[in-house]
Amino acid sequence: MSYRALAKKYGVSEYMARTVIKSDSEITQKIAHKKSENERDVLSYMDAKRDVVCEIIGKGLDVLNDEKKLASASPNQITTALGTLIDKWLLLNVPGTAGAGGQSPLADEIEAAYKKRTEGGAGDEC
């Protein structure tokens, strides 16, 4: 539930809800634990669906690289897609992030597929 929803539910300002929650170490710890648990669940699910995820990523990259689609896309659409792609790539490859330095098997596989593609191989697998 968001701070805004909690504030509305209890008839206080959003600032007050945020302040109370952040000042309570037990609540803060529970929120951090829940976020971590949710992240693990999502990563576990995606890992179980690795083949499908890789297929979707491959199709998405193909669409982003389609000359006709690029020609008809607005500059805003292109920069948004590029920004998202760059942000996610950095998240996987920059030290201090979850996938940096080969810590993420999925990141390693994406990089291997990318290298294979750029070196002339088919690279359709993830």
The Cα–Cα gap between 16 and 26 comes to: 17
Helix (H, G, I), strand (E, B) or coil at 49: coil
Angle at 80 between CA 79 and CA 81, to 5 degrees: 90
How much is the pLDDT for 101?
Answer: 47
Q: Output the furthest CA–CA distance in the chain (Å, rounded).
A: 61
What confidence tens digit (pLDDT) does each residue in 95-109 have? Answer: 555 544 444 555 566
Distances, alpha carbon 117 to alpha carbons 43, 70, 72, 80, 122, in Å: 25, 20, 25, 24, 6
What confidence tens digit (pLDDT) does each residue in 8-18 have? Answer: 998 999 998 88
pLDDT for residue 44 is more than 80: yes
Specify the pTM: 0.42
How much is the pLDDT for 13?
Answer: 92
What the block records as the tokens of 48 is 């179980």
